[in-house]
Structure 1
Amino acid sequence: MPADKITHIASLTQLSCHPAECLSITTMENLAIQGPILTSNSGYTYTTALRRNSDLSVLPAKYIVQPAVYEDIPLIIACATSLSPPLEIAVKGGGAHSSTWNSSKGGVVIDLCKLNKVTLAPDNQSLTVQGGASWGDVYEVTGRANVDVVGSPLWFVGVGGYTLGGGHGPLSGEHGLAIDNLLSATVVLANGRIVRASRDEEPDLFWAIRGGGGQFGIAVEFTFKVHPSAGPFGSGIIAYPGSELPQVLRIITDWKRKQTSAERFTMTFSRPAPHFKPTVVILPTVLHDHDGTQTQKALAPFRKGAVKPILDKVELVPDMFTVSHAADATLQTLPKSLVIRGTLISDFSPELLLAVYDKWLAFTEANDDVRASAVLFDLTSPNKFAEVRSDETAHPHREPSYWMAVQGRSKTDASVESAREFATSIVSFVREKNAELSGRDLGWWVTLCQGDEKPEDVFGSNLPRLRKVKAKYDPKKVWKKGFGIEPLV
């Protein structure tokens, strides 16, 4: 680490602004900070700052504060917690989560949008990313340098929330989860201290933020391990009529036996425009393909079987920046009222997937307002992240598994609750059915939770240690938004 960086971190760790020391602060508006403080009187700027990936995530904050430097944040925390009654604090990175975890009704949102710098180390071995950056910001830098890091398949997802939840991504088959590639993080604590967390510094905190969510402080900076470029990538879409799902699943069953860490896909049940017919969509990513040979070989079973695709558009793209923008056109046409829930599955069981398809088909056929709702199943090799023990990071899900998610989308307010109930019912069914078929109850993955799940079902045997870390770093529960963890007193 450069000397100037070490000096900067050392000075930050000494900074403290506990509410008891900040009695002169009376209102949020008079804070002496470098970033802007927005209220409803700020007009369009405030309205724009409220926006989220899902309209269902928007709540009217009393204040939206956009810190320009890390040292702004302790003052914001001190003011919010010293008021009577204290203001609820929410933290917004990318704003992609479909819950209201990054919003607050009547409280203060610490919006990290101005802290979005991405810096590649001179030796190309590590990458430092500020907490308000998106993965698109990261991929612009890595693409120019011809290197890669483990990140999200979608450019608009925030680096912070994605990483704190564990971080499954297109490169996880080769390099594990994002948290397995995290070298250190800079975190603003509830008492105003700004600390560096790593295996050697604040090791309990470093353990907790790797999969425990945003319950221990505001992660304003991450340093990741850098890998040689995994591109060019084979990327695109292969689609089949929904009625052909049984045949597609037979292809997948055989394909999995030969799958390598460089080959993965996401499968969706969806009704794409303009005809909105039920469709099984395969979205492949093939790594290290310089001439198209790898992609042709990997996808041959999906093209040469008894069932033929109705759409087959796969091409070579240069980098993760391009891969992460592949779904832009589709996403722009979908309803913005979105709720996402998900869980984990042990395998691509035809019995389970066919049952989910039937439930999705019936739901989307019954009401045109929710026909944009979709179900996703990700098939990335789990072998690499399964090499890590379940207690080595707060993320407990280290057995070989795959994630699935339900996107409940509604065109009208009247159908929002129906979409919510559908998402909840499907993931509950998947969890129970998977346990029945595999003999393993995989619980919930915090990234795909909504907050009403039981903590023991999310963190498993890691929950007692997480509660101890919560008591150490946030005993007064300043961080209440997100998946709550009770301090162990």
Structure 2
Amino acid sequence: METLQIKGTILTPSLGDAYVAALKRNSYLSILRAASIVQPADVADITPVLAYAAAQTSPTQVAVKGGGAHSSTWASSDGGIVIDLFKLNKVALSEDKNSISVQGGALWEDVYKITSQAKVEVVGAPLWFVGVGGFTLGGGYGPLSGEHGLAIDNLLSATVVLADGRVVKTSATEEPDLFWAIRGGGGQFGIVVEFVFKVHPYAGPFTGGLLVYPIADKSDLRKVIDEWKKTQTSAERFTMHFSRPPPDFKPCVIIFPSTLHDVDGARARRSFAPFLELSAGRAQLPFRTVPDFHAVSHAADKALEHAPRRLVIRGTMFSDFYPELLGAVWDKWVDFTEGNPDVRASAVLWDLTVPDRIADIKPGETALKTRMPHYWIAIQGRSTTDESVDACREFTSDVVQFVRAKNAELSGQDLGWFLNMCQGDEKPEDVFGENLPRLRAVKATYDPGDVFNKGVSIEPLV
């Protein structure tokens, strides 16, 4: 491996600290010890690495790391090769400011620095440390999705390194089947080394707040959402967390409402009013207005700074905030976090972004399965000890299965699984639905040897 003639860096366990640093992921549970970590300096470095892996008597497993924020092991390999794209992180805004090109190893931090300086926007992740690649290939639900849809709905083209080493450009007119597949089909078809996104006008200033209060009656959960929906537009977003904040670690609801286009603060005052009324003086809601999305993406830094890093996340979609669904998840979360202090940092996040724009794209137009209006939930199992990791895994699995089944019962719609919050043991038909046969056909064309099989695996059509 070390004899490959590439411009980038090849790290092996013998290199000590540099190798260990390259293993780092957002979750300790995502780390596997690779035989080699390759950090390409340019796109041309990737082809010989793929050729080397394929030439071995038993083909070497290849994993691709973008941001490393996912809580699964998809960006890691036990004894294989990790292609770590972090050096391929260039971002370039077009002269007319209508599009932006982003290399596959960039974080959203890299993108927001450029868009904030130029006073333009792109549909991206809510957190700065999330990788552009994984976020986008799974769909890309972001804070601007209420106005502009998902990240994949704003993707204009991409450059992909295929399993055979060829580098192709894909768009609606070039390699259109591949373009269809990477918009919601994940990283199963090649290594996306560049994305070109549509750019939108400035959406700021942005006003956000935080409200923490204990829940005495589960009916309050639905009340706050009903009130929020009365004033919410595509310019407002709301996330609700079930969490036990220190120092008392009592079960609380934490509300994070935020607004776009809030020039004079009037929008925030109107949309935040329901939360102030519900709190009944139990907590205050501080307003904070920031000028750009770069600042918004750092809003959770302090809260995450001391969060346990033994993290497993699962998530799914749901049709509406049914009282039976909210109350049952609350009970499950309270019961799990009550008796074991090792796991009391575990949390549940509900996202309420107006979903209408998601449904602007018809089912089947992209590989993303679910296109009717819906919301998403993330179950975060966090443990301070190795001994409680299995309990966190069981908790997250139990809750998402419950949410999926209960939502199907209440709405009549089985929305399946949320790819970006899967762990890899999910059935592909539950993730991709009716799109799976076409995805298998595309896989057979672009990766017939199933080189890129990390994640929710799509078998090539025989």
Q: If the length of structure 2 is used for normalisation, what is the TM-score?
A: 0.99
Distance 1:92 1:190 in 2: 16
Q: Which consecutive unaligned segments of at least 5 residues does structure 1 have?
A: 1-27
Match of residue 159, structure 1, among 122, 132, 148: 132
Distance in 2 between the 1:428 and 1:248 partners?
21
Quick one: distance in 1 between partners of 2:230 and 2:441? 42
Paired position in structure 2 for 1:24? none
Contact 1:236–1:326 under 8 Å retained in 2: no
Q: Describe the shift of the 1:49–1:306 C-alpha distance in structure 2 as closer, same or farther (beyond 3 A).
A: closer
Decide whether the 8 Å contact of 1:245 with 1:280 is kept in 2: no
The correspondence for 1:459, drawn from 432, 443, 447, is 432
Partner of 1:432: 405
Aligned pairs, number: 462
Looking at structure 2, the residues matched to 306 and 258 of structure 1 have their Cα atoms a distance apart, in angstroms, of: 18
Note closer, same or farther for the CA distance 1:461–1:347 as it changes in structure 2 (3 Å cut): same
- 1:394 aligned onto 2:367: yes
Q: Map 1:404-483; keep pairs closer than 5 Å.
A: 404-483=377-456
Q: Do residues 211 (structure 1) and 184 (structure 2) align?
A: yes
Which residue of 1 is the match for residue 346 of structure 2?
Answer: 373
Give unmatched runs, 5+ long, in structure 2. Answer: none
Which runs of at least 4 in structure 1 moved beyond 6 Å after TM superposition?
none
- Deviation string, structure 1 residues 55-111 (Cα, Å, up to 9, x no partner): 000000000000010000011100011012221000000000000000001000000
Contact persistence 1:241–1:310 (CA under 8 A): no
Q: Is the 8 A contact 1:238 1:282 kept in 2?
A: yes
Q: 1: distance between equivalents of 2:416 and 2:458?
A: 16
Q: Following the alignment from structure 1 to structure 2, what is the Cα–Cα distance between the partners of residues 471 and 272?
A: 49
Distance 1:416 1:100 in 2: 15
1:277-305 alpha-carbon deviations (Å, 9 max, x no partner): 11101112200001111111111111124
Which residue identity does 1:173 align to in structure 2? G
Deviations 1:389-445 (CA, angstroms, capped at 9, x unpaired): 110000011111000010001000000000000000000011111111111111111
What displacement does 1:311 show? 4.2
Deviates more, 1:79-88 or 1:249-258: 249-258
Paired with 2:322 and 2:226, the residues of 1 have a C-alpha distance of 9
What residue number does 2:312 align with?
339
Calculate the aligned-residue CA RMSD, in Å: 1.0
Indicate the larger mover: 205-214 or 479-488.
479-488
Look up the SS of the partner of 2:63 in the other structure: strand
> Does structure 2 retain, via aligned residues, the 8 Å contact 1:268–1:282?
yes
User: In the alignment, which of 92, 96, 104 is matched to residue 119 of structure 1?
Assistant: 92
2:427, 2:456 within 8 Å by CA — same for their partners in 1? Answer: no
**What corresponds to 2:227 in structure 1?**
254
Cα separation, 1, equivalents of 2:227 and 2:272:
12
- Structure 2 match to 1:360: 333
Determine the structure 2 residue equivalent to 1:238: 211
How far residue 458 of structure 1 moved from its aligned partner, in angstroms, is 0.5
In 1, distance between residues paired with 2:357 and 2:370? 13
CA deviations over 1:353-403 (Å, ceiling 9, x no partner): 011001100110010000000001100000011111110000011111000
What is the alpha-carbon distance in structure 1 between the residues aligned to residue 218 and residue 88 of structure 2? 45
Give the deviation of 1:248 after TM superposition. 4.0
Contact preservation (8 Å) 2:181, 2:367: yes
Deviation of 1:480 after TM superposition, in Å, equals 1.2
Corresponding residue SS for 2:367: coil
CA deviation after TM superposition for structure 1 residue 171, in Å: 0.2
Given that residues 96 and 156 in structure 1 are in contact (C-alpha distance below 8 angstroms), is that contact kept between their aligned partners in structure 2? Answer: yes
Distance 1:269 1:311 in 2: 18
Deviation (angstroms), 1:483: 1.1
Aligned residues with identical type, % of pairs: 62
Displacement of 1:243 in angstroms is 2.5
1:310 Cα deviation from its structure 2 partner: 2.1
The answer for the alignment partner of 2:163 in structure 1 is 190
Alpha-carbon distance between aligned partners in 2 of 1:325 and 1:311, rounded to the nearest angstrom: 21
| TM-score (ref. length: structure 1) | 0.93
**Are 1:342 and 1:403, in contact at CA under 8 Å, matched by a contact in 2?**
yes
